[in-house]
Amino acid sequence: MLKLHTKLHALTPAFASNLRPGSANSASPLLRAALSSLRGLTRRSSRSSDLVGHRAFFCSDSDSSGDVVVHVEAKAVDSEAEEVETKSSSAIVSTNPRPEDYLTVLALPLPHRPLFPGFYMPIYVKDPKLLAALQESRKRQAPYAGAFLVKDEPGTDPSLVSGSESEKNIYDLKGKDLLNRLHEVGTLAQISSIQGDQVVLIGHRRLQITEMVSEDPLTVKVDHLKDKPYNKDDDVIKATSFEVISTLRDVLKTSSLWRDHVQTYTQHIGDFNFPRLADFGAAISGANKLQCQQVLEELDVYKRLKLTLELVKKEMEISKIQESITKAIEEKISGEQRRYLLNERLKAIKKELGLETDDKTELSAKFRERLEPNKDKIPPHVLQVIEEELTKLQLLEASSSEFNVTRNYLDWLTALPWGNYSDENFDVLRAQQILDEDHYGLADVKERILEFIAVGKLRGTSQGKIICLSGPPGVGKTSIGRSIARALNRKFFRFSVGGLSDVAEIKGHRRTYIGAMPRKMVQCLKNVGTANPLVLIDEVDKLGRGHAGDPASAMLELLDPEQNANFLDHYLDVPIDLSKVLFVCTANVVEMIPNPLLDRMEVITIAGYITDEKMHIARDYLEKTTREACGIKPEEVEVTDAALLALIENYCREAGVRNLQKHIEKIYRKIALQLVRQGASNEPAIAEVQVVEPEEALVECADDLSIKAVESETGAEPVEDSSHEQTTDTSIEADTVPTDLPADQPSDSKDATDTKKIQESEATKTIEKVVVDSPNIADFVGKPVFHAERIYDRTPIGVVMGLAWTAMGGSTLYIETSQVEQGEGKGALQLTGQLGDVMKESAQIAHIVARAILLEKEPDNPYFANSKVHLHVPAGATPKDGPSAGCTMITSLLSLATKKLVKKDLAMTGEVTLTGKILPIGGVKEKTIAARRSDVKTIIFPSANKRDFDELAENVKEGLDVHFVDEYNQIFDVAFGDDQNTGK
């Protein structure tokens, strides 16, 4: 379209005559008179200022015998008209040959609107070959091309297709396919400028395509079209043109969008004639591209004027609708401003009469509305406080600081769920099902929750409890809390107190402080909306202590069943009933919890998972969840039981399953990358075999195959090969189509042949499943982290296997003793292995007890009196402490002194007193699991731990020969009972 950088001053008649000699006679005097009124309207809109440095672009019409392109440089137009004439005359550039001599032109597709003679249009050329051809023709002093509108795709609504989609489809068209999509009638366009991929075109005359010359870039032969002869004095034509001009004048009164387009034409009125008037009206209207193309193709001047009149009349109706919308919006805005002013006046009147309430009445109404549903359930003392505060709120000024404090206080008081309880689930079977769905094992925790439900069902109501789940990281303490809430049909709220050092986080701030607010429990009740939620307090063993008090002491009131029925938050300052709340605390080390706080909890120990339990959890929970999260189908991957077992024993030996989950996620991420890489290698074959209807076919170059493959994956239109060479490529590459490629419906016999080949290829292809097994597990998760704890297949003299508890769950360790030197009276004990104070004392006791037992068993053996013995506990870099290795140390020392081997596959644990009594130890389950992992067949435990061992699952105790002892002599009989164990 014609582009006007700024408004122009009126050009002198002499200048207009220089533009086109004799053009003043091309229109009748009556038409010129009508157009003068249109020129006067546009002049009035631009007469207010004199502008400097303007430029306008226009060219000759289709009836001109030569090509004229004028660049006007206007310099403060005034009385120096002769200087303007000189500049404009020098701007006229003639081209040789003339435009009508071009019978073969490059075809440029126009996606949005046709180009009319006399107007310019910027377009973007994405085809590098076409852009190079345009630049070459411009260098050869032949800057002309044919601009043709692109037809819409069959079966599509042009109004529903976005510009980006249509342009994308146009850029993909080549050769005959592009020719079939172009309208036959277009415009001969002069290439004004080329900047990057933007080409500015100026329309000259109408063209009609006759045949194609070349395909890439598309070059066509054209015929130059001329308007049909008409009688310029015909009254009907005159009347139609006057109506067009009259409608244009009406539109200009209501819309300023067209003034820039009209002004340039009104400056040189002699340029207008009936055909150009029709083109002008259609070009600047907002009609769709098909209606504009219809005007461009019409060679009968009267019919063209009628079509243009319809378009400008429709534009007039649109302008009226726009004006009515603008008027309605202005009325609405003015109405709102009027209402605002009236409200302000009303407030002022009420204030003068003493009736002003500001927003206080609305606030009071809002607070009372909150209380209304549960007013009968609110305790009387709380209602009394609320009423007092509401009365206080009415007496305060809205601008005072106390007003905001009172408003926030009432907001919290009325937002709490006073007496509002959720309906609990008393169905034990359903609760059991929910707990089993989310977690495997954890029998103690599940049993305790079912007991809680059973008591509530018998009583008809439930009370709150304080349960503490203790265990190593990753065993499911936090996640089981959410499952318990779902099983009980209670709301769930979690907060962590790890590192908490401020009492105010538990008890709240007093309202005298700026920014005071209630804390965790009050926030919890407000968020969940019920008075009986399940509150999970995480990391209760990691409470801090700072200058702001001791939070552990502050939690005594919160977690005391006798006190939390009247829990007092410092901010609210009214008692809150927390007796119905079920508190579940989590801790890693129970010993870190202060005794007064621990006394209020019911501790349930979660020792960890054995290998069998980890296998079930990995197979039934972790693997399934991870596979879905990675978007991998079950049939695409198989992780064998041997791989999971190797993963658990060599990489994830800790008590929990968090590290196991990380390793499984790592395996599936690598599998996902492997599957995507396999799919990417097959992608180029996908685009080569897709087929569509002939109207949608695109001609592809051999260099663009990889680009088309990407487009087909991202939802681009499927293509049908039209050349013989591309058909050959399709038949060759059809054998590489993957099995998940859908076969398109064939549109002809060639497409049916291609589809048949695709289906045959699909039948021969099978999905390559990724198998993860123990031999290749290292390819996914790297080298094993843990190696076998068992150093010796058969322990030598002076070496005995012990059992230890660690944060990882449990492990075996060896006590090694060796003789350093021997001599009269040189008996001594040397210790290494980074032992703690308790373990060092235990070693000294073991040395004394071993000397006493050796004296009893072999009175003539003075070994300990005359030998310096070195006792070591590997590994040296690991800190070790605790008394439970006492019996193991004694056995190691006696083995060295008596030169006897201990029983094969034997492990023991137990604290020894100075008189040889065996005291109980902890971590029976973890130590038993560690013994099974090291293929231990015989275990020695203190007799006091028999009850703990009996509570273990049968699969943990299976295949173990366990001895329970009260004193060391029983251990001596078990360890050295076989005389054949004597060392040689």
What is the spatial distance between Cα 151 and Cα 695, in angstroms, rounded to a whole number? 11
| Tokens 């000759």 found at | 60
Amino acid in position 225 = L
Taking the CA atoms of 452, 453, 456 and 461 in sequence, report the sign of the dihedral they define. Answer: positive
Q: CB-based contacts of 964: which residues, under 8 Å, 6+ apart?
A: 940, 941, 942, 943, 945, 946, 949
Element (H, E) at 871: strand 867-872
For 166-169, the CB contacts below 8 A with 24+ separation are 166/111, 167/111, 167/124, 167/126, 168/716, 169/698, 169/717
Q: Determine contact, residues 185/207, Cβ cutoff 8 Å.
A: yes
Could you tell me whether strands 52-54 and 637-639 are parallel, antiparallel, or unpaired per DSSP bridges?
A: unpaired
537: helix, strand or coil = strand
Which helix (H) or strand (E) segment holds residue 423: the answer is none
What percent of the chain is helix, strand and coil (3-state, nearest 5)?
A: 50, 15, 35
Residue 611, classed as helix, strand or coil, is helix
- Category of 424 on φ-ψ map: left (φ > 0), alpha (ψ -120 to 50) or beta: beta
CA distance 480 to 476: 6
Angle at 222 between CA 219 and CA 224, to 5 degrees: 145
φ and ψ at 247, to 5 degrees?
-65, -35
Q: Annotated catalytic sites, by residue?
A: 884, 927
CA angle 260, 266, 267 (to 5 degrees): 95
Task: Name residues whose C-beta falls within 8 Å of residue 171's C-beta, 6 or more positions apart in sequence.
Answer: 126, 127
Q: How far apart are CA 160 and CA 687, in angstroms?
A: 26
Strands (E), 522-581: 534-538, 567-568, 575-576
| Residue 42 vs residues 173, 265, 309, 311, 423: alpha-carbon distances, Å | 43, 10, 20, 21, 77
User: Maximum distance among all alpha carbons in the chain?
Assistant: 149
- Find out whether 945 and 927 touch, Cβ atoms under 8 Å: no
- Let me know: does 871 contact 817? Beta carbons within 8 Å: yes
Q: How far is CA 868 from CA 32, 833, 895, in A?
A: 130, 17, 15
* Position 387, amino acid: E
Cis (ω within 30 of 0) for the bond into 217?
yes
112 secondary structure, DSSP code: S
Instruction: Write the CA distances from 434 to 440, 464, 494, 652, integer angstroms.
Output: 11, 21, 20, 27
User: Which of 562, 552, 594, 583 minimizes the C-alpha distance to 468?
Assistant: 583
> CA Rg, the chain, in Å?
47
Tokens of 834: 């980074």
Q: What is the pairing mode between strands 144-149 and 198-214?
A: unpaired
Q: Which phi and psi (to 5°) does residue 164 adopt?
A: -65, -40
- Residues 6+ positions from 205 with CB-CB distance below 8 Å: 62, 99, 100, 117, 187, 188, 224, 225
Rounded to whole angstroms, the Cα distance separating 279 from 116 reads 7
